[in-house]
Amino acid sequence: MKSLSELDQIKKKAQLDMSARNRSGKRIVVGMATCGIAAGARPVMSTLVEELRTRKIADVSVTMTGCLGLCRLEPIVEVIDADGVKVTYVKMDANKAKRIIAEHIINGQVCTDLTISSEEAQ
């Protein structure tokens, strides 16, 4: 059974990590309005956070946002770098979320087959 005292360990570890962090300023935003939620955005967000945690990437934030106005392409994930350059991924699922962390966030290679432009080209 989990206990709130586990938070003391998390605190100690995070405080050590935080001092050594470089802020990359990268953000991942998940569309989480009715359309996104119904299409499966919540487990996508959970997978993104878990992958960052497993791979010990502490300088990328994952947050939810509202409807992006493209309901038919949900779940939608945007990766925004420090300069504001944005890549929009559409029709996401947990496996695609793992790819985005490995290929885009870690290796800096945009998953071009998952972007909105590749979807629109079809």
Partner 1 sequence: MRDLSLHLLDIITNSISAGASHMMIRINADHRKDLLTIRIEDDGKGMSPEFLKRVTNPFSTTRTTRKVGLGLSLFKEACEITGGDLLIESTLGVGTIVTAVFGISSIDRIPLGNTGETLSGLISSFPDREFAVVFSNDQGEESGLDTVDLRERLGDVPLSEPDVYVFVRDYIQEQQQIILGGI
Site residues, partner 1 (CB under 8 A):
1-2, 4, 6-8, 10-11, 13-15, 18, 32-34, 37-38, 42-43, 45-46, 49-50, 52-53, 58, 61-64, 66-69, 71
Q: Which is nearer to partner 1, 33 or 110 (CB)?
A: 33
CB of 120 to partner 1, least distance (A): 18
What count of other Cβ atoms lies within 10 Å of the Cβ of residue 80?
Answer: 16
Tokens of 108: 């800096």
CB of 2 to partner 1, least distance (A): 5
CB of 40 to partner 1, least distance (A): 9
Nearest Cα to Cα of residue 53 among 14, 90, 79, 82: 14
Cα angle value 82/105/57 (rounded, 5°): 90
